[in-house]
Structure 1
């Protein structure tokens, strides 16, 4: 018995150290040039350990996706508004039969039995389980364990792997491979655009109670809009008339995304309606699109979530009698657990509205990441016991999202994959609007984030830190403006800026800047080039597009602090400060780009109502039409968005990385979008 045990150990040791040099028929497919300082390479993976191998097949036409999205979104295109069906999108992007056959044939010839190989329904990926020994022999690689110094997580990976030369052209990536994915810290979650404590978004937005001699605003009083923004102030700012439809189009329900177990309380909505919008009947409420156990309303007003109530109390006065649906993602067990590692977010939302996304593969990622995304059924007591929801909901025409993070925190592969999905949903006519962030050109400093004492990047903490998923070219980003003290709604707004302590405990300024991951999209080039030509920022810059977020911190070696060739953020803006709200049964004032976003989104939903009632399609991806017609927006030319020890960028004539193209002018926007086919 001892002899057999020793022999097995010897065999195991021999297998572990055995190298598989690549033959001349194979080529390097991916290679890691350096290892980020957070990772430490450890011992070889046990040869008998089972690795879940995933091979991402190259999608057909993915590089042509932007061209076709612009074709249905550019107002000068003869195909404007001719959005694609879901099946058309799947058929257009799925890998070809030749690709599937080539990869399957390689695996079978290499000794992976055909019965072990699974091809996804949309032919986007190949899956099989293999021992580490099999994987090393197949890929002529050495798999080691890599330990993350931040989380303590250990992940398998390799420094380089090889595939047959004739097969390589069919493969996007293989995982486990060279990509190492882990969240920043065990407790860090996807951040809402609001005040943070310890890096975790609190279940409330930035809010404070008015002080001093102050009178509660009346429903139609416009004299105090510099103190409290009511629905009447918003309507006056953007010239929004009451809805002319008694019977709204049932196919045009506005979508509002919520996470972090945000419950709304009907009592708060009723207080708001009674005080500010008496035309909205008592007990008016949204429907709930529950994604993987997402919670509904609460009967305990003390549990009310500030974000969801802010969203609803801004959107309802604009869209009513149109309906609103809350797209509530993930059960409360995951959402409220401070130690869980749900870091990046949005995957389960995208799963729910596109079943193919559940298993979609690209850039080294396949489907949801078990290390980053919640797993269902949720084994925790009280957790959602159903299966992960895939393709069970039709996407809304408009989805307002007031959540996000920083570009540098999110694995390049993960964000690229999601960005492609926003493109595909844009092809189908969905408008995604994201809050641009509340910390200007950076992130909040410690202890409100984990980006160091400045909240910025680089060894000196001086490089601007752009937000995500705002960097994706296929979404519309919304920055924030403010009616400054002593000003009225009949005067131009300014970029929002509230220094720490006045009244929030952190600086609040409109998130903006330039991506390090995405270059300037075609529709934005003229606006960005004009901005640099006429209003050159007084800061040193660099010009680089990275294909690995681990490299972002090394940018600016020449002394530059922002990227000259990156996608510009934001695209547009709306009021985002001193917003009158009711939460927890109490009146308060709120702020954040999480206020700006539902305002702009609700206006887009109104535009869709007008178009659809004339037999036209929803507007879909907004940006090409807005950048070609900036005159439909109110240009903001005053204010900055400080951060990283600087004043940030300046709001100027034309587009700028503070307030984008400006705030909505509803009559002009309506005229434009009704004039389009």
Structure 2
């Protein structure tokens, strides 16, 4: 008699606004991503607490060291393979370093293997997806070995964080926009082009056209960077032709990084928009021994409450690996203010809320000539968007945020009861946004989606000049808050800007040369 154990944190409920519309075809083939425990977890935790404390004596692990010391144990992989064979499932790939095994099989085989029932659901905004309720179950010999089973359901997990400027109206005559090199100059980025570095960008849909990129970089007088699309889980560079859709996100990310760090290789990891796809793409980028990104930019995310706890922890564990390898991860904090678009109460966006990420919030910037004349929290009202920020309910306060408090719009301050978001900020209002080229049309885009690649490009320049990766930079930035332009005006809903760190713009927007000095 095999005892089945519910996998902690794998429970799914019927999402509000969803209903079952039919059964899944038992013969349909799908792929499922199994994540295993880490070898020598206690030793790894000790290493991570030193990294979180900003210990200058900790050197990043090489990808080889990580694989050997902190990958999945060969015995654990053998157990998963034996389990797969017993249920007629095929092992598509195994990656001990990434602690992952990708399995392929029919819906019927996976339902039997993991004790789940998969059905088709319809949701008013997410469309149709494969879903389940209740937990995923594993047998005795995988109990405690398997940390996450992802891909049984494929509901859309994340949304892009960009906003196209609304059509020009004469009353908005003060609307201005900036090219990424203009912003790099305003933010006093150090000289350089990022050569020798690779910037990884994660995309959950859409694509780019080479003609847009070439025309855009030519218009800026910048050399066209090398852009390499990387296919993850059958997704690929597939432009939809709709600049308002994910193409807008993909093109924005590449054009911001490429305009500021044209000497860097840009590896774009295309993946399906599901928790499994998102986590697998991050894992592939972090463990990519061919491209070896030293910095990764993520402009997609979702409120913490929309993730299962197994997905959140699995994703965070890959971000932890990135920090151990000295890979900086920049993530957009969201474009819907302190609520993150959730009705009733405040939420922060994940992965920006991970303590292993540089969370990038939004400002609205006014310049006169070559200097910034005014910079406030990005908040263009309910329809216009506002920078995401607040306090995590999923992650405790990291060492480098101890003792901080968040200023409230209603007055007063509240001590942080969890990880505070964001860490830093940059221009994000579509009214003062970024001039980009999408679908052959010049377009102005804002959103914290633009801030993550802006910071990623800054770090690529710093890494290139230094000849080694800056790595996990949060402890260093919090020890030297003067390297950011402190934003003290505005609010994002529940939280207000204040002197020092705040839950709208973090430490502030970059003074690139000072950031380089601190790192």
Same-fold status (TM-score > 0.5): yes
Matched, 1:238 2:215: no
Higher strand share: 2
Q: Deviations over 1:608-649 (max 9, x none)?
A: 11110xxxx21112212112221211111111112xxxxx21
Matched, 1:441 2:338: yes
Question: Residue 88 of structure 2 contacts residue 105 of structure 2 at CA under 8 Å; is this kept in 1?
Answer: no
SS at match of 1:519: coil
State the superposition RMSD in angstroms: 5.1
CA distance in 2, matches of 1:538, 1:231: 35
Residue aligning to 1:598: 453
Question: Residue 268 of structure 1 contacts residue 582 of structure 1 at CA under 8 Å; is this kept in 2?
Answer: no
Which residues of 2 match residues 451-470 of structure 1 at below 5 A?
455-456=341-342, 461-470=343-352
Residue aligning to 2:417: 565
Residue aligning to 1:576: 428
Which of 281, 286, 289 is the equivalent residue of 2:229? Answer: 289
1:424–1:31 CA distance, 2 compared to 1 (3 A): closer
1:609–1:536 CA distance, 2 compared to 1 (3 A): same
Which of 377, 392, 395 is the equivalent residue of 1:495? Answer: 377
Which residues of 2 match residues 478-493 of structure 1 at below 5 A?
478-483=360-365, 489-493=371-375
Unmatched tracts of structure 2, length 5 or more? none
Residue aligning to 2:65: 88
Residue aligning to 1:652: 498
Question: Residue 286 of structure 1 contacts residue 325 of structure 1 at CA under 8 Å; is this kept in 2?
Answer: yes
Residue aligning to 1:362: none
Question: Residue 398 of structure 1 contacts residue 601 of structure 1 at CA under 8 Å; is this kept in 2?
Answer: yes
Which residues of 2 match residues 608-647 of structure 1 at below 5 A?
608-612=463-467, 617-642=468-493
Residue aligning to 1:378: none
CA distance in 1, matches of 2:8, 2:238: 46
Matched, 1:405 2:302: yes
Matched, 1:395 2:292: yes
Which of 200, 205, 217 is the equivalent residue of 1:260? Answer: 205
CA distance in 2, matches of 1:158, 1:270: 50
Matched, 1:350 2:282: yes
- TM-score, with normalisation over the residues of structure 1? 0.61
Residue aligning to 1:307: 249
CA distance in 2, matches of 1:344, 1:102: 21
CA distance in 2, matches of 1:29, 1:304: 36
1:84–1:573 CA distance, 2 compared to 1 (3 A): same
Larger radius of gyration: 1
Unmatched tracts of structure 1, length 5 or more? 1-19, 196-204, 215-223, 335-340, 356-390, 444-454, 501-505, 542-561, 643-647
Question: Residue 146 of structure 1 contacts residue 156 of structure 1 at CA under 8 Å; is this kept in 2?
Answer: yes
CA distance in 2, matches of 1:469, 1:423: 12
CA distance in 1, matches of 2:264, 2:12: 50
CA distance in 1, matches of 2:135, 2:251: 48
User: How far is 1:298 from its partner?
Assistant: 11
Residue aligning to 2:57: 78
SS at match of 1:315: helix
Which of 290, 302, 325 is the equivalent residue of 1:428? Answer: 325
CA distance in 2, matches of 1:133, 1:636: 55
How many matched pairs?
505
Residue aligning to 2:160: 192
Q: Deviations over 1:517-539 (max 9, x none)?
A: 22222232x2xx3215xx46759
Residue aligning to 1:7: none
User: How far is 1:478 from its partner?
Assistant: 0.5
CA distance in 1, matches of 2:257, 2:81: 50
Question: Residue 203 of structure 2 contacts residue 268 of structure 2 at CA under 8 Å; is this kept in 1?
Answer: yes
Q: Deviations over 1:627-676 (max 9, x none)?
A: 2221211111111112xxxxx21011121111111111122112222xxx
Question: Residue 102 of structure 1 contacts residue 170 of structure 1 at CA under 8 Å; is this kept in 2?
Answer: no
